Amino acid sequence: MTPSPGRKKRSTILDVATVAGISRGTVSRVLNGEPYVSDEARVAVNKAIKEVGYVPNMAARNLVRQRSQAVGLLIHEPHALFLEDPNIGSIMLGANTVLSQAGYQMVCLIIDSELDVNRIGQYLNGGSIDGAIVISAGENDPITELIEQLAMASAFVGLPPNHRPLPFVSIDNKKAAAEITARLKASGRTQIGMIASALGRAAGADRLAGFEDALGSSYRPELVAMVEHFSFDAGIAGMRELLERCPTIDAVFAASDAVAAGALSVLQRIGRRVPEDIAVVGFDDSVWAQRTNPPLSTVRQPASELGAQAAELVLAQLRGEEINRGGVYLETSIVWRDSA
């Protein structure tokens, strides 16, 4: 272990210029690949750069350029969800790929306390990032307000809270929920229930709305259990509640795969056969879906594409382009496995 000797002293453009025997201006031009530099100079500079181990100081560069060439990915999830939600990882990877290719550094900022909220406010406003991708902001999110006030380049994954008119990319949760519910109905089930989660967020509320829509007049409110999160544990609680309220229930639409997995575990424990006695479907087509027993029928959501498109949206704004009003909707599809 080192006795923490402090970082090595970094060399500056001036060092490079001195070694190369030319002016700082020319060094800078080489650095930025500008035209009007003699090959001779270019070669000398590159040599000198290697020699002194020069790396540009970002703070100085950002200061004068008034931009950072970085985009933040803000993650604002309740603890439990953050650990479970496989979509987040895919979204991150998708966004990173796009930003990376455009020469932007993606920096993920996680918001997990009041302290974080303030600090990140500074980070956004202080010029450390040029734009932001926001994942799952809750209602009345202060960060969302800030982003709107600053009119900074941004893109939400999922609908922005409080219907703020901000750029976003999302799936149509309502439509997708209606589709899979309809399929359940078409397969002959008659007592179809739902474990609805996170009703405080658009994704949660819309899935319930789609469920209602699809059922129409046969919708029975007592067959809906409302739970807090899109989590396994919530699935357990929701399934128990449903069974208690209606023991003869023969189908369940769980608001997410994790919820469905929780529900399955309850059914398994009490000996209900899936799908013979009761059908279960989920939402997300996450890694969970293929690993439950039986594997889940579910709605496939293009998670990494959501991240990628959100990144594109931010980049477009950074380029000063007009962007499509009303947000971007990506297609979902139904994946039918054995659980229904």
CA distances from 63 to 10, 57, 128, 174, 266 (A): 18, 10, 10, 45, 57
Considering only residues 21, 25, 165, 200, which one is a binding residue for its own copies as defined by CB under 8 A? 165
Stretch 171-230 residues interacting with its own copies (CB under 8 A): none
115 binds, among DNA, its own copies, none (CB under 5 to 8 A by kind): its own copies
Question: How far is Cα of residue 271 from the mean position of the Cα atoms in its chain?
Answer: 37
- Residue 46 beta carbon to DNA: minimum distance, rounded to whole angstroms: 13
Q: Give the amino acid at 103.
A: G
The DSSP bridge pattern shows strands 153-157 and 168-171 to be parallel
* Binding segment (CB under 8 A) for its own copies, from list 43-51, 164-172, 173-181, 246-254: 164-172
Considering only residues 47, 50, 51, 60, which one is a binding residue for DNA as defined by CB under 7 A? 60
- Residue 37 beta carbon to DNA: minimum distance, rounded to whole angstroms: 4
For residue 164 the two structure tokens come to: 């703020």
Is there binding between residue 142 and DNA (CB under 7 A)? no
- Residue 337 beta carbon to its own copies: minimum distance, rounded to whole angstroms: 14
C-beta of residue 54 within 8 angstroms of C-beta of residue 14: no
Considering only residues 1, 7, 40, 113, which one is a binding residue for DNA as defined by CB under 7 A? 40
Q: Give the amino acid at 327.
A: G
Alpha-carbon distance 100 to 95, whole Å? 8
Is there binding between residue 320 and DNA (CB under 7 A)? no
The DSSP bridge pattern shows strands 168-171 and 224-227 to be unpaired
Is there binding between residue 14 and DNA (CB under 7 A)? yes
Is there binding between residue 51 and its own copies (CB under 8 A)? no
Is there binding between residue 83 and its own copies (CB under 8 A)? yes
- Residue 38 beta carbon to its own copies: minimum distance, rounded to whole angstroms: 26
C-beta of residue 305 within 8 angstroms of C-beta of residue 287: no
Q: Is 266 left (phi over 0), alpha (psi -120 to 50) or beta?
A: alpha
- Residue 148 beta carbon to DNA: minimum distance, rounded to whole angstroms: 22
Q: Which is nearer to its own copies, 88 or 214 (CB)?
A: 88
Most distant CA atoms of the chain, gap in Å: 86
Q: Which is nearer to its own copies, 179 or 305 (CB)?
A: 305
Terminal CA-CA length for the chain: 57
Considering only residues 63, 83, 150, 287, which one is a binding residue for DNA as defined by CB under 7 A? 63
C-beta of residue 121 within 8 angstroms of C-beta of residue 99: no
Q: Which is nearer to its own copies, 224 or 260 (CB)?
A: 260
298 three-class SS: strand
Is there binding between residue 93 and DNA (CB under 7 A)? no
What is the total count of residues that contact its own copies (CB under 8 A)?
78
Considering only residues 31, 46, 116, 175, which one is a binding residue for its own copies as defined by CB under 8 A? 116
For residue 80 the two structure tokens come to: 């439990």
Alpha-carbon distance 134 to 186, whole Å? 37
Q: Which is nearer to its own copies, 70 or 335 (CB)?
A: 70
Stretch 17-36 residues interacting with DNA (CB under 7 A): 22-26, 28-29, 31-32, 35-36
